[in-house]
């Protein structure tokens, strides 16, 4: 069962442009997710008890339910509440919600990993809780957020494959389409798997690199 | 919300949940065999073997579950292996979970104090026997927490089997929606079922790590932000 | 007679089952330097941390210059606990120096000092910087104001922490074992700065194991054991003629080993 190399070469442009869609959606979702993650994660740390519990419940729900189920829920629920989006933006919304769920935990872990003495020093000079969060904790937490955030991007890239279910023209959907048109599934799947592996491995290396750079030098932050 | 409709579909969704549990549990168990064998080779093998296991882990963890499932679905028949859909699902999920389990086993093995190995060698055991009688039994205890967690991940990943129309929980829900268009009722139940399953496993995993096997931590290789 | 600045009345503190401070009372006069001494676990650090409510007393009241800390009595003489805002308002009158420095890790020495000035005292930026530079100069760090905490020695970090507390121009300064994380050379840097402050009539409550320093620094020394007040008096008296067997035992154990400065 030899591979049809000529065919493989011919579909590379189409797969690569689908890959760009995959990356676009994933990066958008992670960036939008970090805004949600910073705000919600902050409330998770300093909010009143009922709010903390509510946020934790939502986070557990998002992390504890399959991504496909979230995607289906968003797909069906958005039009119902009057928000009509095309497949691409529905996908962005769904992945953003998934990403936010994980990023709240990233932000919380980062804030909670900061030495308690920093909070006490802030209290001792008369700063309010909210000021301590903004001026002392978050600036220090940001650096600890970046490596796991890169890691989260790999998770979201993998999750974006499920957007094929709601007909977003990302890599998995396009590769499936080519398979059904041509039945060269071996060739298509090898290329698709290869593209995903390369993206995810590169992102993993980036994450490791950032982590080493940021933590080994104990770097010089700007105020 | 149509409550009576929801009650009506509960038995059907419960049967589908049973399929979800079966396909995940069987994959977890088969994956465990691969995980331990490859994990041990990953730590103790020669350079070529280590290189191969690393490659396997990169591919298994670097491709989306969706692609792995399509691959099993299309490629197995091409190789002349005709399996029922359920077994195709098991093959795909086993491939998926093995990649993660290798890393769990590796992390557990590497977390065992070097002194344990030296003590084993010092009383005259060979390298492999030290591994078999000293390191592995200690590592197994440290794997219990992450493995329970991995089970929860598999349950979530198994939802992707809807792509090949295996009637597990998500696909069953999807089919009911297609027939009745009562998506709110169905999706609430589906999400709830998964949530309960995964939460109980996570609680169990935390309990195992904190109380039962509390003699030193193993890092979960997938880090704490589980997929 | 000098006015009384700080009062602690019948203070108790329990952590779970363990009662670490039992019925502690003290009055500190304006300008007085008080040393809390005792073995580790004697409750002295807990007492210090209760003064600015980093620990909440289980029982008892703390009073600073006309106000209770942690709450107040309303018209009906009922106790009302302070909100976070009230507490912050009161804490800014109390400077605190920690054992582990606790400099803000992401800020330079200068900005460690200005943060409280701009955000709590709401000083304009220029004024805040001028004041910060003044106090950093006072702790002999004018050349290091641009450095970040990880670029400084422990002694330098602790002096920045002292400047950070002083710049708020507090009524009272608390020192929680300020030198116990430092080696002897760096310890002296910090003790010298504290000695200079003592000459400026600043009110200070200090927890320390440096008995040689305590002896000529303090106006009064309080000795505690297992959370219980044992005795107090001028350090000279405690060192030479202690009333309690326990005090003499403790001081003979650690006091003379460390030597005078």
Q: Where are the domains of chain B?
A: 3-212
Q: Are C84 and C127 in contact (CB under 8 A)?
A: no
pLDDT the model gives residue A1: 54
Indicate whether B152 pLDDT > 80.
yes
Q: Which residues does chain A have within 8 Å of residue C95's beta carbon, measured at their own beta carbons?
A: 124-125
Comparing A125-134, A153-162, B208-217, C204-213, which segment has the lowest mean pLDDT? B208-217
Q: Which residues does chain A have within 8 Å of residue C102's beta carbon, measured at their own beta carbons?
A: 115, 117-118, 120-121
Instruction: Using alpha carbons, list the distances in angstroms from residue C93 to B3, B177, C103, C205.
Output: 61, 65, 19, 14
Comparing A213-217, C30-34, C161-165, which segment has the lowest mean pLDDT? A213-217
Chains that touch C (3 or more CB pairs under 8 A): A
Cross-chain Cβ contact C85/A128 below 8 Å: yes
Q: CATH class for domain B3-212?
A: mainly alpha
Higher pLDDT, B127 or C124: C124
Q: Which residues contact B206 (CB under 8 A, 6 or more apart)?
A: B145
pLDDT the model gives residue B138: 87
- Cβ density class A181-191: b for 16+ within 10 Å, e for less: eeebbbbbbeb
- A57 Cα to chain C: minimum distance (Å): 27
**pLDDT band (50, 70, 90) for residue C51:** very high
Nearest to C102 among A121, A126, A139 (CB): A121
Distance separating alpha carbons of residues A205 and B133, to the nearest angstrom = 35
Nearest to A127 among C88, C103, C161 (CB): C88
Nearest to A135 among C105, C115, C165 (CB): C115
Instruction: Using alpha carbons, list the distances in angstroms from residue A155 to A67, A98, B60, C87, C197.
Output: 11, 10, 13, 44, 56
Cross-chain Cβ contact A105/B225 below 8 Å: yes
Q: Residue C37's closest CA among C261, C200, C184, C252?
A: C252
Cross-chain Cβ contact A148/B58 below 8 Å: no
Whether A125 contacts chain C with CB within 8 A: yes
Rounded mean pLDDT, C150-170: 95
Burial class (CB in 10 A: 0-12, 13-18, 19+), B137: exposed
Q: Are A66 and B170 in contact (CB under 8 A)?
A: yes
Indicate whether B167 pLDDT > 90.
yes
Rg (CA), chain B: 20
Cross-chain Cβ contact A158/B74 below 8 Å: no
Cross-chain Cβ contact A72/B152 below 8 Å: no
Q: Which tokens is C88 given?
A: 């912050």
pLDDT the model gives residue C176: 94
Q: Which residues does chain A have within 8 Å of residue B154's beta carbon, measured at their own beta carbons?
A: none
Q: Which residues does chain B have within 8 Å of residue A198's beta carbon, measured at their own beta carbons?
A: 62
Distance separating alpha carbons of residues A143 and A217, to the nearest angstrom = 12
Straight-line distance from the first to the last Cα atom of chain B, in angstroms, rounded to the nearest whole number: 31
Give the H or E element holding residue A17: helix A5-46
pLDDT the model gives residue A86: 92
B129-140 pLDDT tens trace:
888 888 888 888
What are residue C8's DSSP bridge partners? C26, C62
pLDDT the model gives residue B115: 85
Helices in chain B by DSSP H: which ranges?
3-44, 47-62, 65-78, 85-111, 114-122, 127-130, 136-158, 169-180, 183-207
Whether A213 contacts chain C with CB within 8 A: no
Distance separating alpha carbons of residues A213 and A26, to the nearest angstrom = 24
Q: Which residues contact C76 (CB under 8 A, 6 or more apart)?
A: none
Q: Residue B60's closest CA among B35, B87, B82, B79?
A: B35
pLDDT the model gives residue A216: 52
CATH no., domain A5-216: 1.10.3720.10
Rounded mean pLDDT, A54-74: 93
Q: Which tokens is A125 given?
A: 């000079």
**Fold classified for C29-54+90-258:** Rossmann fold (3.40.50)
For testing the chain A interface, which of C92, C98, C104, C157 should be mutated: the one with the most A CBs within 10 Å? C104
Whether A79 contacts chain B with CB within 8 A: no
B3-14 pLDDT tens trace:
899 999 999 999
Share above pLDDT 70 across residues of chain A, in percent, rounded to a whole number: 95
Q: Which residues contact C35 (CB under 8 A, 6 or more apart)?
A: C206, C207, C208, C214, C217, C218, C220, C221, C222, C235
Indicate whether B205 pLDDT > 70.
yes
pLDDT the model gives residue B51: 95
Straight-line distance from the first to the last Cα atom of chain A, in angstroms, rounded to the nearest whole number: 62
Distance separating alpha carbons of residues B119 and C133, to the nearest angstrom = 60
Distance separating alpha carbons of residues B142 and B148, to the nearest angstrom = 11
pLDDT the model gives residue A217: 45
Instruction: Using alpha carbons, list the distances in angstroms from residue C131 to B113, C40, C122, C147, C164.
Output: 54, 37, 13, 17, 10
pLDDT the model gives residue B112: 86
Nearest to A65 among B163, B191, B224 (CB): B191
Q: Which residues does chain B have within 8 Å of residue A109's beta carbon, measured at their own beta carbons?
A: 224
> Domain coordinates of chain A in residue numbers?
5-216
Whether A221 contacts chain C with CB within 8 A: yes
Indicate whether C94 pLDDT > 50.
yes
Nearest to C98 among A117, A127, A218 (CB): A117
Distance separating alpha carbons of residues C135 and C128, to the nearest angstrom = 11
Rounded mean pLDDT, B193-214: 82
Q: Residue A70's closest CA among A62, A58, A59?
A: A62
What are residue C6's DSSP bridge partners? C28, C64
Distance separating alpha carbons of residues C159 and C195, to the nearest angstrom = 13
Q: Which residues contact A215 (CB under 8 A, 6 or more apart)?
A: none
Cross-chain Cβ contact A127/C116 below 8 Å: yes
Indicate whether C113 pLDDT > 90.
yes
- Phi then psi for residue C15, to 5 deg, are -110, 105
pLDDT the model gives residue A211: 79
Question: What does the DSSP 8-state code read for residue A165?
Answer: G
Distance separating alpha carbons of residues A59 and B50, to the nearest angstrom = 37
Q: Are B202 and B194 in contact (CB under 8 A)?
A: no
Whether A186 contacts chain B with CB within 8 A: yes
Residue C152: alpha-carbon gap to chain centroid: 22
Dihedral sign from CA coordinates of B130, B132, B134, B135: positive
Cross-chain Cβ contact B59/A185 below 8 Å: no
Cross-chain Cβ contact A126/C89 below 8 Å: yes
Q: Which residue from C minimizes the CA distance to A115?
A: C102
């Amino acid at each position: 069962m030899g591979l049809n190399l000529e065919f493989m070469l011919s579909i590379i442009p189409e797969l690569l442009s689908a890959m760009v869609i995959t990356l676009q959606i994933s990066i958008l979702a992670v960036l939008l997710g970090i805004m949600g993650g910073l705000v919600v994660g902050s409330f998770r740390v300093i909010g009143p008890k009922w709010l903390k519990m509510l946020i934790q419940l939502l986070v557990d729900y998002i992390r504890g339910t399959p991504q496909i189920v979230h995607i289906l829920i968003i797909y069906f629920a958005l039009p119902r509440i009057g928000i009509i989006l095309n497949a691409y933006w529905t996908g962005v919304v769904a992945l953003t919600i998934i990403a936010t769920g994980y990023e709240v935990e990233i932000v919380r872990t980062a804030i909670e990993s900061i030495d308690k003495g920093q909070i006490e020093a802030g209290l001792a000079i008369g700063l309010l809780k909210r000021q301590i969060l903004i001026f002392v904790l978050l600036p220090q937490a940001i650096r600890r957020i970046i490596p796991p955030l890169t890691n989260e991007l790999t998770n979201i890239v993998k999750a974006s494959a499920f957007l094929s279910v709601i007909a977003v023209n990302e890599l998995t959907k396009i590769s499936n389409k080519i398979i059904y048109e041509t039945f060269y599934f071996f060739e298509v799947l090898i290329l698709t798997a290869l593209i995903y592996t390369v993206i995810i491995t590169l992102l993993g290396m980036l994450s490791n690199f950032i982590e080493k750079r940021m933590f080994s030098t104990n770097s010089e932050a700007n105020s | 919300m149509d409550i009576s409709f929801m009650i009506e579909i509960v038995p059907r969704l419960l049967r589908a949940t049973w399929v979800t549990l079966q396909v995940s549990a069987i994959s977890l168990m088969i994956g465990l065999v691969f995980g331990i064998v490859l994990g041990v080779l990953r730590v103790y093998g020669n350079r070529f073997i280590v290189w191969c296991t690393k490659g396997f882990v990169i591919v298994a963890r670097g491709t989306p579950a969706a692609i792995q499932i399509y691959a099993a679905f299309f490629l197995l028949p091409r190789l002349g292996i005709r399996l029922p859909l359920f077994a195709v699902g098991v093959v795909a999920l086993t491939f998926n979970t093995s990649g993660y389990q290798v890393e769990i086993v590796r992390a557990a093995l590497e977390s065992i104090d070097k002194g344990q190995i030296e003590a084993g060698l010092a009383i005259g055991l060979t390298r492999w026997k030290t591994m078999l009688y000293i390191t592995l039994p200690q590592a197994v205890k440290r794997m219990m927490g992450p493995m329970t967690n991995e089970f929860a991940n598999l349950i979530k990943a198994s939802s992707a089997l809807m792509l090949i129309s295996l009637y597990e929980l998500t696909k069953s829900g999807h089919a009911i929606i297609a027939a009745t268009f009562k998506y709110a009722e169905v999706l609430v139940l589906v999400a709830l079922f998964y949530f309960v399953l995964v939460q109980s496993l996570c609680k169990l995993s935390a309990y195992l790590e904190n109380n039962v096997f509390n003699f030193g931590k193993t890092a979960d290789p997938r880090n704490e932000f589980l997929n | 007679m000098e006015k009384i600045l700080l009062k602690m009345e019948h203070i108790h503190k329990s952590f779970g089952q363990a009662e670490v401070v039992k019925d502690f009372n003290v009055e500190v006069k304006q300008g007085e330097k008080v040393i809390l001494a005792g073995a580790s676990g004697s409750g002295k650090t807990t007492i210090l941390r209760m003064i600015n409510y980093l620990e909440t007393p289980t029982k008892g009241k703390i009073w600073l210059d006309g106000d209770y800390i942690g709450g107040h009595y309303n018209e009906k003489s009922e106790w009302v606990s302070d909100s976070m805002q009230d507490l912050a308002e009161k804490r800014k009158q109390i400077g605190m120096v920690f054992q582990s420095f606790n400099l803000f890790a992401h800020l330079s020495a200068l900005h460690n000092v200005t943060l409280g000035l701009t955000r709590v005292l709401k000083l304009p930026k220029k004024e805040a910087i001028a004041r910060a530079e003044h106090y950093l100069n006072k702790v002999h760090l004018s050349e290091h104001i641009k450095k970040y905490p990880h670029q400084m020695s422990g002694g330098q970090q602790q002096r920045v922490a002292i400047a950070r507390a002083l710049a708020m121009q507090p009524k009272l300064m608390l020192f929680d074992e300020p030198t116990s994380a430092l080696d002897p050379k760096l310890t002296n840097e910090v003790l010298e700065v504290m000695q200079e402050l003592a000459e400026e009539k600043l009110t200070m409550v200090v927890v320390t194991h440096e008995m040689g320093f305590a002896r000529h620094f303090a106006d009064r020394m309080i000795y505690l054991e297992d959370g219980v007040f044992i005795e107090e008096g001028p350090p000279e008296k405690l060192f030479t003629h202690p009333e309690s067997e326990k005090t003499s035992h403790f001081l003979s154990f650690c006091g003379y080993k460390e030597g005078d400065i």
